[in-house]
Amino acid sequence: MRKLSLALLAVFALAACGQDETVPTAPTPSVGIETEDNVEFDLTPIIEKGHGVGATIRSYEITLENLTPDNGGGAAQVFSPPVIATHNRSLRMFRVGKFASEGLALIAEDAINQPMFDRFDNSPAAFDVQEGGGVIPPGTSATYTVQTRGGARRLSMAFMLVNTNDAFSGTDAIRLPRDGVSEYYLSAYDAGSEENTELTAHIPGPCCGSPGEGIDTRERIRKHAGIHGDGDLDPAIWGWEGPVAKLTIRRIPRTYEITLENLTADTGDGGAQVFSPPVIATHNPAIRMFRVGHIASDELALIAEDAINQPMVDLLEGSDRVSEVQVGGGVIPPGGTDTYTVVAERGFNRLSMAFMLVNTNDAFSGVSRLPLRWFDGRVSYYLHTYDAGSEENTELFEHIPGPCCTGAGEGNDTHERIRHHRGIQGTADLDAAKWGWDDPAAKLTVTRIY
């Protein structure tokens, strides 16, 4: 029998309380952690798939920072909205020492992106093509999210330094990092497609306002020599030194939206089965939160009998085989749903979850060791209900913690194996018509969002 604090009794005094009180205990690293390699799922898959990020997709956060000096009034160098593409190595946006394509020349001279965008967007060698949402003034930055798949692991980008004749910067087919963060300092280049007159009549930026008025040339792309002061532009106002931009690329770990739906009937007045706030974890394959046919760990029994989550949280957080642990923010009433976001770091791509059906002695549900790496977009499952085998199913009010009752921590201990729950039998205080349910009790939907 497990005693419960008065604070915990308040959790289920009302079904809609939305708070999970927990009792901290010392971690027990060896309990409930198994290392079997075989995978066991005791849930029913729903053959439905939906929108979401595919299994082979990688996502990246791209931050572009303008390092040119902020001299006020649109001075120094504003960056035009960049064209950004992920693609395979057969595509090139520009190459130093080669002639600029027409699409690149239009970006470098007048910040016209559409031809370059169309070229990449129409190519089977490109995967993700996008355009920045606005200009990037000196001293500021903009962040974009791009995706890759298969062989499209290269990143290209081009944008204009708008207070110039045809200066641009960017990257050409750089390899995206497999993991972690990469940083690059970007130089300014001369597209060689327009004479560097430095005349306000030939420049489109805030210095000048004359798009499309330059003098055409045909020279090779080279590093830009900067503003010389040969025309109307003062180097002290419009010039720059060194790299003009910093590019930071961060691999976004696989991220999933987890939606848990309570399928039990809403019979009113706290009836049927309220779900306790679930414990959710992402981890490597060595972890099991529970296993049907085996004895429940003490940590799982505390969830199943009285919705006490903290010992399981402590156990999981104390393991280097676990990446992330969280607890739902509130109870889930019949017909209700709650959604959580989980991150699956490299090597930690299994999902486990457990929660109590609180108008029972020791019924719980969840998943154990679900392999997230197999998900393609969105997949749903029906979840069965289990008997933890740690408390006798007396169905007496005085032994049950939920809104039906007042008996937190007062059940009769047993030592049986986890098995499918038989439901409410109506053998004592619980009326099966009011507190019962038909399995499955829950639906779990996993959507990959990054």
Domains of the chain: 6-54+253-448 (2.60.40.2130), 68-243 (2.60.40)
Task: Count other C-beta atoms under 10 Å from residue 56's C-beta.
Answer: 9
Are the C-beta atoms of residues 364 and 312 closer than 8 Å to each other? no
Residue 100 confidence (pLDDT) above 50: yes
Per residue, what are the HEC states of 116-184? HHHHHHCCCCEEEEEECCCCECCCCEEEEEEEEECCCCEEEEEEEECCCCCEEEEEEEEECCCCCEEEE
Would you call 295 exposed, middle or buried from its count of C-beta atoms within 10 A (0-12, 13-18, 19+)?
A: middle
Q: 431-445 pLDDT, tens per residue?
A: 888 888 888 999 999
C-alpha gyration radius of the chain: 30
SS3 content of the chain, % helix, strand, coil (to 5): 15, 35, 55
Instruction: State the pLDDT at residue 9.
Output: 34
pTM of the prediction? 0.76
Read off the pLDDT of each residue in 150-167 and give the average, rounded to a whole number: 94
Q: 189-244 pLDDT, tens per residue?
A: 999 999 999 999 998 988 888 887 889 999 999 999 999 988 899 999 999 999 99
Read off the pLDDT of each residue in 272-285 and give the average, rounded to a whole number: 94
Are the C-beta atoms of residues 52 and 111 closer than 8 Å to each other? no
Residue 4 confidence (pLDDT) above 50: no
Kindly indicate the confidence band of residue 73, based on its pLDDT and cuts at 50, 70 and 90.
Answer: low
**176 φ, ψ (degrees, to nearest 5):** -75, 145
DSSP 408: T
- With residue 235 as reference, give the H or E element that holds it: helix 235-238
Residue 259 confidence (pLDDT) above 80: yes
Segment among 25-29, 101-105, 142-146 with least mean pLDDT? 25-29
CA distances (Å), origin 326, targets 34, 282, 298, 300, 313: 20, 9, 19, 15, 8
Read off the pLDDT of each residue in 301-325 and give the average, rounded to a whole number: 95
Q: Which residues have a Cβ under 8 Å from the Cβ of 114 and sit 6 or more positions away?
A: none
